[in-house]
Amino acid sequence: MQERLLELQQEALQKATEATELKELNDIRVAYLGKKGPITEVLRGMGKLSAEERPKIGALANDVRAAIASKIEEKQHAFETAAVNAQLASEKIDVTLPGRPVNKGNQHPLTRIVEDIEDLFIGMGYTVAEGPEVESDYYNFEALNLPKSHPARDMQDSFYITDEILMRTHTSPVQARTMEMHKGIGPVKIICPGKVYRRDNDDATHSHQFMQIEGLVIDENISMSDLKGTLEVFAKKVFGQDREIRLRPSFFPFTEPSVEIDISCKICSGKGCSVCKHTGWIEVLGGGMVHPNVLEMAGFDSKTYSGFAFGIGVERIAMLKYGVDDIRHFYTNDLRFLKQFHTHESE
Ligand code: PHE
């Protein structure tokens, strides 16, 4: 019996050592340690043994079982460790690999200028108004005191789509539309940013498509000094606190009187340089007091109400602010140009 037990132990250990997967170990466990296994079989014959021998064989049988069980367990443990190691190896991440660069875009310089100017005017109680780029002759010209065949229409060469419809040549039609919506009741306080179109040959300072921001205030007792004060705030905010402005008489059909507004040259501080053509001043916008005809046409009583309007050329502001020497840079989307504006919010 003793021999048979040792033989079984030998056999089981051998098989366990040779096992290559968990399933085999389970089979060995069932085969040798199970109720129907050979060890149980051997122990069934213990009745025939003498009282002396019985405990010895009993103890040996337990040892054999324990030896087989521990071998199986050891082997099982080895399998599990190997499985975990294999998984770890397959999921290994090489943290030394350099990351892929993420190409972030940034705001277009014109968008930034428009947003900055919007913020400034919103802070002064204005609201932002928008209108269509494909506009009727009426809002683009007639409602702005430019009847058909008025010679001043020549100031703005236009892209006509039909006799009555054109690409708007300025953002002023938005003021005509907004005034009309107010049905003669003030105050009106808006700025209108947007694209405008003119039949110009593109060159360093002209583009057939560009951007304007129109400002309009209508209320009782609005005077030229309100316009001047407002534009002074604008000039200092955009170009720096030490800027000054000056107004020069000019002509626009929709304002009377009309003015051109110059800002003291930032580059030479007014001494004269090539940017300001040696005058010390740079022309940045046009404006004036809203013409009574424009007020009346939009339904406002020009005896009660007065107002001022101004038009800002966005590209011109951007060119001066950032020292850009060719307007076409804003529209040709050369990344080397655009990436130079990679700062603040977009950083
Ligand atoms: N609309 C004018 C232009 O495009 C600018 C302007 C606006 C002038 C408002 C006066 C008042 O030339």
pLDDT in tens, 110-159: 999 999 999 999 999 999 999 999 999 999 999 999 998 888 787 778 99
Q: What is the pLDDT of residue 254?
A: 95
Q: How confident is the model at residue 344 (pLDDT cuts 50, 70, 90)?
A: low
Residue 287 CB less than 6 A away from ligand 1 = yes
Q: CA–CA separation, 69 vs 77, rounded Å?
A: 12
Q: CA–CA separation, 131 vs 152, rounded Å?
A: 23
Q: Is the peptide bond before 193 cis (omega within 30 degrees of 0)?
A: no
Q: CA–CA separation, 347 vs 342, rounded Å?
A: 6
Q: How confident is the model at residue 194 (pLDDT cuts 50, 70, 90)?
A: very high
Q: CA–CA separation, 220 vs 238, rounded Å?
A: 28
Residue 140 CB less than 6 A away from ligand 1 = no
Q: What is the pLDDT of residue 300?
A: 97
Q: How confident is the model at residue 25 (pLDDT cuts 50, 70, 90)?
A: confident
Rounded to an integer, the average pLDDT of 186-212 is 93
User: Which stretches within 53-108 are classed as H helix?
Assistant: 53-90
Q: Ligand 1 test: best mutation among 222, 250, 252, 312, most atoms within 8 Å of CB?
A: 252
Q: Is the pLDDT of residue 347 over 80?
A: no
Q: Is the pLDDT of residue 303 over 80?
A: yes
Q: What is the pLDDT of residue 200?
A: 86
CA quadruple 234, 237, 242, 247: dihedral, nearest 10: -10
Measured in Å, residue 233 CA sits from the centre of ligand 1 at 19
Q: CA–CA separation, 196 vs 167, rounded Å?
A: 7
Q: Alpha carbon 310 to chain centroid distance? A: 31
Residue 253 CB less than 6 A away from ligand 1 = no
Instruction: Domain ranges for the chain, please list them.
Output: 2-91, 109-341
Residue 288 CB less than 6 A away from ligand 1 = yes
- Given the CA of residue 144, which atom of ligand 1 is nearest to it? 1
* Closest C-alpha among 41, 92, 68, 117 to residue 311: 117
Q: CA–CA separation, 195 vs 176, rounded Å?
A: 17
Q: Is the pLDDT of residue 249 over 80?
A: yes
Residue 170 CB less than 6 A away from ligand 1 = yes
Q: CA–CA separation, 137 vs 176, rounded Å?
A: 12
Measured in Å, residue 121 CA sits from the centre of ligand 1 at 17
E strand segments, 129-176: 134-136, 165-167
Residue 252 CB less than 6 A away from ligand 1 = yes
256 is in an annotated binding site: yes
Give, using CA atoms, the residue closest to atom 7 of ligand 1: 311
Phi, psi of 147 (to 5 degrees): -60, 160
Topology adopted by domain 109-341 = BirA Bifunctional Protein; domain 2 (3.30.930)
* Closest C-alpha among 169, 144, 170 to residue 158: 169
